[in-house]
């Protein structure tokens, strides 16, 4: 499905100044694209942007299209990590997760999709997580939103193909960035060592560059789901043996809570 896009065009990356976002911009630039990083003010982005502000997202995309005359790749990468045991999470934790991870992605989609439809070409990429494919206790709000993003991307894909637009969702395991330790600038992970827990279940964190490389490969090949590194193996393991996988994940959860 979808149209193999020209990697010499224009790409937008939200959350473009973080570890993965920066790596995505670098790899897109090396591929010959004009990569534009969008991120919160004060981070050195090409365009300052809060993805939760729908009007601001629309203005930013319109500005880029007016300046460059095209829009070839849009990567909705901005996100926050929120976790802790559910009974201890305040209401704001859920609201923050939904606002940034889900509503932010929807804002990016609604701002960029009409231009791509008019062009009859382009590729939309949504950065989700392995947590959007498998059970992830202690990070329930985060996992909930990433499952939503997987559903958004895979359901949109057949519709978008009618317009010559590709859609890919990227589901990496733990990535070796500050996000893994802090949940991002607006994240909140209470009482859980995210790095220790996630790498204990999913294996060593992968480097941002490896995820960026896998993402570009997924765009070129018009892949529906990209699972960099060990993520694909773990996803298959959960599907093949859900009961055993649940037991392994629960054991790791109890070990983390006992620390």
What is the spatial distance between Cα 193 and Cα 182, in angstroms, rounded to a whole number?
Answer: 9
Catalytic residue (choose from 49, 105, 134, 142): 142
Beta strands in the chain (DSSP E): 10-14, 34-39, 47-48, 73-76, 82-83, 122-127, 165-170, 188-189, 225-226
What is the spatial distance between Cα 202 and Cα 232, in angstroms, rounded to a whole number?
Answer: 11
> Which tokens hold the place of 117?
């439809």
73-76/122-127 β-pairing? parallel
Instruction: For residue 113, indicate whether it is catalytic.
Output: no
- Judged on CB neighbours under 10 Å (0-12, 13-18, 19+), 181 is middle
For 153, the enclosing helix (H) or strand (E) is helix 140-161
User: So which residues are the catalytic ones?
Assistant: 142
């Amino acid at each position: 499905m979808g149209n193999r896009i020209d990697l010499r065009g224009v790409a937008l990356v939200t959350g473009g100044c973080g570890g993965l976002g920066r790596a995505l911009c670098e790899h897109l630039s090396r591929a010959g694209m004009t990569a534009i990083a969008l991120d919160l003010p004060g981070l050195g982005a090409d365009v300052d942007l809060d993805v939760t502000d729908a009007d601001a997202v629309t203005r930013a995309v319109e500005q880029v299209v007016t300046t460059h005359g095209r829009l070839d790749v849009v990567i909705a990468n901005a996100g926050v990590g929120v976790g802790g045991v559910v009974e201890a999470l305040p209401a704001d934790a859920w609201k923050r997760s939904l606002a940034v991870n889900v509503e932010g992605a929807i804002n990016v989609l609604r701002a960029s999709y009409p231009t791509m439809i008019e062009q009859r070409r382009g590729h939309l990429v949504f950065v989700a997580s392995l947590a959007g494919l498998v059970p992830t206790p202690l990070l329930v709000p985060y996992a909930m939103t990433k499952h939503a993003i997987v559903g958004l991307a895979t359901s949109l894909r057949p519709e978008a193909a009618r317009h010559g637009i590709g859609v890919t969702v990227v589901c990496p395991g733990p990535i070796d960035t500050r996000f893994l330790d802090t949940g991002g600038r607006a994240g909140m992970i209470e009482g859980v060592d995210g790095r220790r827990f996630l790498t204990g279940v999913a294996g060593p964190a992968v480097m941002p560059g490896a995820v960026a490389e896998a993402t570009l490969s997924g765009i070129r090949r018009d892949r529906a789901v990209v699972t960099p590194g060990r993520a694909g193996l773990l996803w298959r393991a959960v599907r093949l043996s859900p009961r055993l996988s649940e037991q392994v994940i629960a054991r790791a959860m109890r070990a983390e809570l006992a620390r």
